[in-house]
């Protein structure tokens, strides 16, 4: 979630050209979110029948879709926007992510219902994988996100985003279903070296090489990083691990609230812009380092402000449920906690 605020602060609050670090983060930020959504959505021992299908969709409606509608409506009302125009806009004033996530999850559930009698789960994973590749190809056919077909209902359901990110959600599903095998792969140092080369070295040599390969290789590196440091994040005596855990367990609330808290920072914006043309010791200034420190600290600060606001609103249970969904029980597994961060 910190990455999301980082990018939004750069774009809306500072309006400065992103550094190479921000560009790298932007390349995998949303794919990572959908990968995590798929990872935590996988149902290993779930009985797919009409009753359970209805229950899980009702839970998603209450916990994700209804809060999205409520927070979107409040945002539009407070900022003097046009409700219909916002609803039929692809971005949904920023609230497209939870809508598209719900649509993709619904697709995943429908596929599982259709193949509920198939005992071999590998067949279902194969079908999901083929479907994900097919939808990804459709997205490229429609114009690679910028020039896709534009229709009123196409924009209402944000189908361009659906087609773009479906493959990463399914990747999270497949990884979770084969988690032990996947962990043996990421523990292979030679394979990790190859993936790192594909993720960060090859794009420098060949800037136009396949974007999907770049994204998947960078997701691999991010997963490997957190998997390697998993024991650190489980420590209860670490201030950093506690802070990241708090942010990780309040991701949805931070996502809904942070749009209300973005503000212009003209002095910081001007200072960062001067660094772009400031050469020191015969080379370019390290403006990327200042960007990380300044924007990163603001992003972390806003995350905790959002958590504080959520705590205050929790005093009013009905309002809290409408805005953020029912209170969640703290029963997440360790691997889920790691990915949520």
Q: What is the pLDDT of residues 111-135, one digit of tens each?
A: 988 888 888 888 988 999 999 988 8
What are residue 78's phi and psi, to 5 degrees?
-70, -30
Q: What is the pLDDT of residues 201-226, one digit of tens each?
A: 988 888 777 788 899 999 999 999 88
Across residues 157-185, what is the average pLDDT? 91
So what's the pLDDT on residue 14? 87
pLDDT at 332 over 80: no
Across residues 167-194, what is the average pLDDT? 92
Residues β-bridged to residue 280: 283
Mean pLDDT lowest among 16-20, 102-106, 249-253, 296-300 = 16-20
pLDDT at 11 over 60: yes
So what's the pLDDT on residue 336? 43
What are residue 261's phi and psi, to 5 degrees?
-110, 0
For residues 276 and 255, the model is more confident at 255
Q: Give ∠ CA 306-244-254 in degrees, rounded to 5.
A: 25
Q: Average pLDDT over the chain, rounded to whole?
A: 85
pLDDT at 195 over 70: yes
So what's the pLDDT on residue 334? 47
Highest mean pLDDT among 61-70, 80-89, 325-334: 61-70
What are residue 333's phi and psi, to 5 degrees?
-75, 165
So what's the pLDDT on residue 228? 86
Mean pLDDT lowest among 152-161, 289-298, 315-324 = 152-161
Radius of gyration over alpha carbons of the chain, in Å? 21
So what's the pLDDT on residue 281? 66
**Cα separation, 124 vs 143, whole angstroms:** 29
So what's the pLDDT on residue 142? 64
């Amino acid at each position: 979630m910190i990455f999301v605020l980082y990018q939004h602060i750069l774009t809306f609050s500072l309006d400065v050209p992103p550094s190479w670090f921000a560009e790298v983060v932007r390349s995998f930020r949303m794919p990572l979110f959908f990968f995590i959504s798929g990872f935590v959505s996988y149902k290993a021992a779930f009985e797919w029948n009409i009753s359970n299908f209805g229950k899980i969709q009702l839970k998603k409606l209450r916990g994700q879709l209804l809060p999205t509608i409520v927070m979107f409506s409040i945002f539009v009302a407070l900022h003097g926007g046009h409700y219909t125009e916002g609803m039929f806009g692809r971005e949904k004033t920023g609230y497209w992510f939870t809508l598209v996530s719900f649509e993709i999850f619904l697709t995943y559930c429908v596929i599982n219902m259709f193949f509920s009698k198939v005992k071999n789960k590998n067949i279902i994973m194969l079908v999901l994988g083929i479907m994900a590749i097919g939808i990804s190809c459709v997205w490229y056919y429609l114009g690679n996100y910028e020039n896709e077909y534009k229709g009123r209902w196409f924009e209402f359901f944000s189908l361009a985003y659906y087609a773009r990110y479906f493959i990463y959600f399914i990747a999270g599903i497949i990884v979770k279903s084969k988690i032990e095998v996947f962990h043996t792969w990421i523990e292979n140092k030679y394979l990790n070296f190859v993936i790192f080369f594909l993720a960060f070295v090859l794009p420098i040599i060949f800037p136009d090489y396949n974007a999907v390969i770049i994204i998947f290789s960078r997701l691999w590196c991010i997963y490997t990083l957190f998997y390697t440091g998993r024991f650190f994040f489980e420590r209860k005596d670490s201030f950093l691990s506690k802070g990241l855990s708090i942010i990780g367990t309040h991701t949805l609330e931070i996502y809904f609230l942070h749009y209300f808290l973005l503000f212009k920072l003209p002095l910081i914006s001007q200072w960062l812009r001067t660094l772009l043309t400031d050469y020191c010791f015969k080379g370019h200034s390290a403006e990327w380092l200042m960007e990380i420190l300044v924007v990163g600290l603001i992003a972390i600060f806003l995350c905790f402000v959002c958590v504080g606001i959520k705590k205050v609103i929790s005093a009013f249970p009905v309002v809290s449920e409408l805005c953020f969904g029912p209170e969640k029980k703290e029963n997440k597994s360790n691997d889920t906690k790691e990915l949520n961060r």
